[in-house]
Structure 1
Amino acid sequence: MKIPSALLLLAGCFPLTAQETEILCVDGSRIRGSLLGVEVDRLQFEAAFLAAPVPLRLEKVLEVSLPIHRGDSKGDHVATITLTNGDVLRGELIGIDKDSIKLRTWYAGELTFRRAMVDNLEIQDRPDLIYSGPDGIDGWTQSEPGTWQFEHGWLRAKGAGSIARNFELPAKARFAFDLSWRSNPRFNFLFYTDDITKAHPENAYELIIQGGRYVQLHKRWSKGDKSGSNTLGNFANVPELVNKERCRIEMLVDRKTGLIRMLVNGRVAQDWTDPDPDAGLHGGGMHFSTQDNVQLRVSRIEVTSWDGVLEGKPPEQDEGFMDEDDTPQPETDVPVDPTRIRLRNNDQIAGEMLGIENSKVKLKTAFGEVNLPVSRLRTFALHTKEQRENWDLYQIPKRYNGDVRAWFPDGGCITFKLEDAGGGKLEGSAQSFGKASFEQKAFARIEFNLYAPELDELRNRGDAW
């Protein structure tokens, strides 16, 4: 069945609800409705403007946006694998040897990857998850109703105002989110606030971004008949705010010591210290706030506990300023010697990894064999310099006709050849991991027709404002 483009554009005029799917077609049309199923060569969907469910051939589809679903991950750690083609997956590390790396996932069971096609592996403690989203507007409080809207897995600002949410926050917490904008971002992030109904609560830490590269941290406090406000420490220099239109911001907070760290795209940007963390009556509120009609979005929001462990350090400040063309340099603390293994407290030990059993990694060291919990590890080199320079040993997975790229809500993705679908499953294969069956609900977005260069411009505009 061929659907006229004019009808598809008419479908795009209806508002997208939290549980609806949006299909972007290769002619630029958008269809909003409910996805009934994915087959190898077509989609089955229904919509309010159609009399009955209809198929749409995948050769006419650029991407599909799906409702957000959060899986129930297990284990005491999170292992993040980056493949040589840029794919990123997370799970529990359950096996490793000279040829393969094995992850246990909730969305595909056990996945075994060719070690030669794994570019990087990092391990972190699994924190207590307090919030992960957004998956709708419910549960959020706006200072100006209607200012913020939920679309496609993000919160989008339509004007000046704040959107906030309350949590039971521990003394040590981590806040993380993706911030996207057009032109200059003018945006405030407030945390540990005492009143989510106000755009300017009396007790708050406030990260202030005002259209340039320099960011400041401000504190307001009030208790009884006493109150005050002050700016904490130096400005943070964040070149990404002027060089890009998207970044990931993380705030690590220790309310007892007053330590607050800001990371941007994983890079340590600034450390601040509150000289009097007990001042005020701070609560569990978190706000995203704008002052004018900026084009701005927030997505991939995570609020978790934090163990207080710090890695790396902020750059040395040269009176708080950098040249306009300065860009942050990547940290170079990942070991290049495959016999060096970095632990989560930044210590390094020399040893050979013999394998993993019962969530413990067995290491061969100069002092004998040592067993360590996998969660104690941070990272280690997977390849020697010589292997990286040898194309036969350091491989990029082959591309195949029928490849799709499926995106997880946390920003990771996996590329595979779609071979079968049904019953809420997507089955496929890739050179990096062989065959696998994925839960369709694990994905927030699926891209099709990946290797058609004539569609690149439309694909880049698929994330339309």
Structure 2
Amino acid sequence: GSFEGLDAKSGIIWNHPYVSPRLIITPSHVKHIQFGNNQNPGRAKKHSSKITLVNGDGLSGDLIGLKDGKLTLNTWYSGEIQIEQSAIKSLIPGFTALKTFYEGPNNVRDWVFYDASSGKLIKELEPDSNASELEAKTRQINTAQGTWRFNEGALEAKYSQARVGRKFKEMPGRARFDFDVEWSGYMNLYVNFLTDRMDSYSTGNSYCLRLNTSYAYLYRYTRRNGVGGGRNMGSNVRINLNQLGNRARVSIRVDRGKGIIALYINEKFLKKWEDAQKNEFPKDAHGLLFTSMSSNSVTINNISVSEWNGSLPNEKNITLDNGKEDFILFVNEDSVSGNLLSIQEGSITFKTSFAELPIPLKNISQINLARPNEKLNAPKGSVRAVLKGNTGSLTGLISGWRNGKIT
């Protein structure tokens, strides 16, 4: 049915096509409401900064400043909002000179789709293809039985061995591949990166992250003189993705010069693999390929390919971040502890034991705020709202929900 609104006193207002009058449901009896894939409004945008709160909630926005213990964000979904500094666990400013090569998908033009039910490959369109050709390709993949489908900026699959990928004209020596993934039940997803094949995960040259809801493995595939082979890159890492609510932000980071591949889930470092052979890939191995290895539903969106600064967590950073003081991790992996005083005009004022420092935000990778002495508990009757595309979440009390707006 369709959600119509929520009244704090009477309950949830719900329309069903075969039930009259409208249903009024007591909120305490509702576990979860999943909203349909409504089209994003025209003002929707991707924000640069990410805020994590002490209760695990997170928000994205454009950072305006911090003054008198309050952080101000400008968001497309709620305008300017203020957050108490004491409620913030960490801040990723997002001010960086690193280049982004791709963000999407916005359409299917440059994507290659493999229909596992027919063995047919639906190739990318020519650069000068017109709108009718793009519409025809979208219709073709969305009516095929065994391939990924495109729906409002997301790629969706419900067929084992369905593949979708694309190549990029250039690829830096240190790169990161980021995407949001959402699944139902059990997920089993293969992600080939730095690949030269769009029709197979195992017969070309590439790295392949095998990711399921319990483990992550890394393989490297090579093909020389018509002979191919694959090898496990080392030990796996045990994870429990279903604890994350069936959605996660995955980040694969690669330093080809050093042969290092790192995996992050929801910005948390999980595993580093090292490729001891460091053999060069072919010059055209600039592709990214997703293969669904399960018939369960899986959705991928918010894909980005960008430069990576090459920094990884180390013992030094873990030791210095004691939680008693504010902590800055710089893009070059240096760090400093002290007291965050303010943020304005692209710079922060940070007080240390030896000086009060002005620091440009572009030099900062992450700021961890001192942990509060008292535990902050959500009020009784609170709900947790997850924003579309896994771009954030908020916990609080709903006082009203009318005409498409929530308070």
TM-score (norm 2): 0.69
Q: Which residue of 2 aligns with 1:240?
A: 240
Deviations 1:74-112 (A, max 9, x none): 8xxx43223466542223433224421122445555433
1:192/1:284 contact within 8 Å kept: yes
Q: Which amino acid aligns with 1:409?
A: G
Aligned equivalent of 1:367: 354
* 8 Å contact from structure 2 (residues 203, 223) kept in 1: no
Q: How does 1:298-377 map to 2 (within 5 A)?
A: 298-312=300-314, 334-377=321-364
Q: CA deviation at 1:27?
A: 5.4
Deviations 1:283-322 (A, max 9, x none): 2211111346344333343322212111258xxxxxxxxx
Q: Give the Cα–Cα distance (whole angstroms) in 2 for the partners of residues 187 and 248 of structure 1.
A: 14
Q: Distance in 2 between matches of 1:212 and 1:117?
A: 31
Instruction: Quote how far apart the aligned CAs of 1:166 are.
Output: 2.0
* Aligned twin of 2:39: 67
Corresponding residue SS for 2:278: coil
Matched residue, 1:409: 389
Question: Which amino acid in structure 2 is aligned with residue 356 of structure 1?
Answer: I
Q: Which amino acid aligns with 1:143?
A: Y
How has the CA–CA distance of structure 1 residues 381 and 84 changed in structure 2, closer, same or farther, with 3 Å as cutoff? closer
Contact 2:205 2:281 in 1 (8 A): no
Offset, 1:372: 0.7
CA distance in 2, matches of 1:265, 1:273: 22
Structure 2 residue matching 1:409: 3-state secondary structure:
helix
Given the two structures, how large is their TM-score scaled by the length of structure 1? 0.61
**Residue matched to 1:381:** 369
- Cα deviation 1:178-198 (Å, max 9, x = unaligned): 334445433311111123245
Instruction: Choose from 97, 102, 105 the match for 1:131.
Output: 102
Residue type of the partner of 2:295?
Answer: N
With over 3 angstroms needed to count, the CA separation of the structure-2 counterparts of 1:312 and 1:152, relative to structure 1, is: farther
Q: Would you say the 8 A contact 2:192–2:207 is kept in 1?
A: yes
Task: Give the 3-state SS of the residue equivalent to 1:307 in structure 2.
Answer: coil
Q: CA deviation at 1:151?
A: 4.2
Counterparts of 1:179-258 in structure 2, within 5 Å, are: 179-198=181-200, 200-209=202-211, 213-222=214-223, 225=225, 228-240=228-240, 245-258=246-259
Check 1:158–1:63 CA distance in 2 against 1; reply closer, same or farther (3 A cut): closer
Q: 1:235 aligns to what SS in structure 2?
A: coil
Contact kept in structure 2, 1:117 and 1:397, CA below 8 Å = no
Q: Match of 1:67, as an amino acid?
A: Q
Instruction: Report the Cα offset of residue 212 of structure 1.
Output: 7.7
Structure 1 equivalent of residue 112 of structure 2: 141
- Map 1:33-72 → 2, pairs under 5 A: 63=35, 65-68=37-40
Match of 2:168 in 1: 167
2:90–2:369 contact (8 Å) kept in structure 1: yes
Kept after mapping to 2: 8 A contact 1:82/1:119? yes
1:139 Cα deviation after fit: 3.5
What does residue 271 of structure 2 align with?
A: 270
Amino acid in structure 2 at the alignment position of 1:380: N
1:120 deviation in Å? 3.9
Contact 1:351–1:366 at 8 Å: present in 2 too?
yes
Distance 2:81 2:358 in 1: 24
Q: Distance in 2 between matches of 1:247 and 1:351?
A: 32
Equivalent of 1:88 in 52, 58, 78: 58
Q: Assess if the C-alpha contact under 8 Å between 2:57 and 2:393 holds in 1.
A: yes
Q: Deviation per CA, 1:224-264, whole angstroms, max 9, x where unpaired?
A: x3755342531322332577754433210122222111223
Asked if 1:150 is matched to 2:120, the reply is no
CA contact (8 A) 2:150 2:156 kept: yes
Deviations 1:304-350 (A, max 9, x none): 2212111258xxxxxxxxxxxxxxxxx89754112544444444424
Check 1:277–1:296 CA distance in 2 against 1; reply closer, same or farther (3 A cut): same
* Mean Cα deviation higher: 143-152 or 240-249: 240-249
- How far apart, CA to CA, are the structure 1 residues paired with 2:237 and 2:386? 34
Output the CA distance in 2 between the equivalents of 1:301 and 1:277: 27
Aligned positions of 1:12-27 closer than 5 A: 26=14
Question: What is the SS of the residue equivalent to 1:253?
Answer: strand
Unaligned runs of 5+ in 1: 9-23, 31-55, 314-330, 430-465
Distance 1:149 1:185 in 2: 17
CA distance in 1, matches of 2:181, 2:90: 25
Contact 1:184 1:241 in 2 (8 A): no
Tell me, yes or no, if structure 1 residue 79 matches structure 2 residue 81. Answer: no
Q: 1:278 to 1:87 in 2, by over 3 A?
A: same
Provide the secondary structure at the position in 1 that maps to 2:52.
strand
Q: In 2, Cα distance between the equivalents of 1:26 and 1:130?
A: 43
- Structure 1: how far apart are the matches of 2:238 and 2:204? 27
Contact 1:335 1:381 in 2 (8 A): no
Question: In 1, distance between residues paired with 2:357 and 2:384?
Answer: 42
Percent identity, aligned pairs only, is 24
CA–CA distance in structure 2, aligned partners of residues 354 and 243 of structure 1: 36
- CA 133–220 in structure 1, closer or farther in 2 if over 3 Å, else same: same
8 Å CA contact retained: 2:192, 2:201:
no
Offset of residue 371 of structure 1? 1.1
Q: Indicate the SS of the match to 1:234.
A: coil
Residue 352 to residue 263, structure 1, CA distance change in 2 (3 Å): closer
Change (3 A) 1:239 1:358: closer
Q: Which amino acid in structure 1 is aligned with residue 197 of structure 2?
A: D
Q: Distance in 1 between matches of 2:390 and 2:309?
A: 21
